[in-house]
Amino acid sequence: MSVAYLEKLNPEQRRAVEHGARENDAAPGTPLLVIAGAGSGKTNTLAHRVAHLIVNGADPRKILLMTFSRRAAAEMARRVERIARRAIGDNAGVMTDALWAGTFHGIGARLLRDYAGEIGLDPAFTIHDREDSTDLINLMRHELGYSKTENRFPAKGSCLAIYSRCANAGLPIEDVLATSFPWCAVWAVELKQLFAVYVEAKQRQNVLDYDDLLLYWAQMVSDPGLAGE
């Protein structure tokens, strides 16, 4: 098959794109970590790799392309389609539409909806973005009377940042406060109560915040049965 669509890549990029192909040393499926600087062609290389896999018969439904922002994810998917179209024509669109491309949170949400029934989650869950989450935690902060404390209780943004750090790092609040938010350390007891009420409110309203999307997903795939599917 013609590989004209790979000719503009430099040798390092091309090696990354073709890694795992039969003519290379690496066995198919061997992981590859590429570290490269800003503007060095990372997205370009990834897009070519995905297109190359699809052109060579890989099942696009088994390709997962993840990045941080929606814009970057859309850009990646668009580039994959353009390259694949150049190589195999108009059929490329159907193929590239089938691949999984998105943000970490978007992919997490999609998997959680698909498998909600199996992990005891209502599939109609609502997703709170950072702003919604800040509003909800602020509401709880008011309800507990913490917005009127004499010595100023941490602001809503700090409360969410602390909660998020605890959830993501899997660390007790005392540790997180000591290492990252020492000026809030005197409020450990109150923050703990705030977080408990916040979690309860999320569950009552069938809401997942951004941290939950990643946490629930991680928990889901730690079950070998579900991970295998």
Ligand X SMILES: Nc1ncnc2c1ncn2[C@@H]1O[C@H](COP(=O)(O)OP(=O)(O)OP(=O)(O)O)[C@@H](O)[C@H]1O
Q: Decide whether 61 or 78 has the Cβ nearer to ligand X.
A: 78
CB of 52 to ligand X, least distance (A): 14
> Is there binding between residue 39 and ligand X (CB under 6 A)?
yes
Q: Give just the sign of the alpha carbon dihedral 158, 160, 163, 166.
A: negative
Q: What angle do CA 165, 152, 190 make, to 5 degrees?
A: 50
> Is there binding between residue 193 and ligand X (CB under 6 A)?
no
Structure-block tokens of residue 146: 């913490």
Judged by CB under 6 A, the residue of 33, 38, 124, 227 near ligand X is: 38
**Do 55 and 88 contact (CB within 8 A), yes or no?**
yes
Report 42-101 residues binding ligand X (CB under 6 A): 42-44
CB of 84 to ligand X, least distance (A): 16
67 Cβ contact partners less than 8 Å away, ≥ 6 residues apart: 73, 76, 103, 104
> Is there binding between residue 147 and Mg ion (CB under 5 A)?
no
Q: Decide whether 43 or 158 has the Cβ nearer to ligand X.
A: 43
- Residues in contact with ligand X, counted by CB under 6 A, come to a total of 11
142 Cβ contact partners less than 8 Å away, ≥ 6 residues apart: none
**H/E segment holding residue 67:** strand 64-67
Closest CA to 1 of 121, 99, 87: 87
Give the β-pairing of 100-103 and 126-128: unpaired
DSSP SS3 for 124: coil
CB of 3 to ligand X, least distance (A): 14
CB of 65 to ligand X, least distance (A): 13
Residues 39-78: x/- map of binding to Mg ion (CB under 5 A)? ---xx-----------------------------------
> Is there binding between residue 180 and Mg ion (CB under 5 A)?
no
Q: Contact region for ligand X (CB under 6 A) — 41-49, 62-70, 132-140, 163-171?
A: 41-49
Binding residues vs ligand X (CB under 6 A): 8-10, 13, 38-44
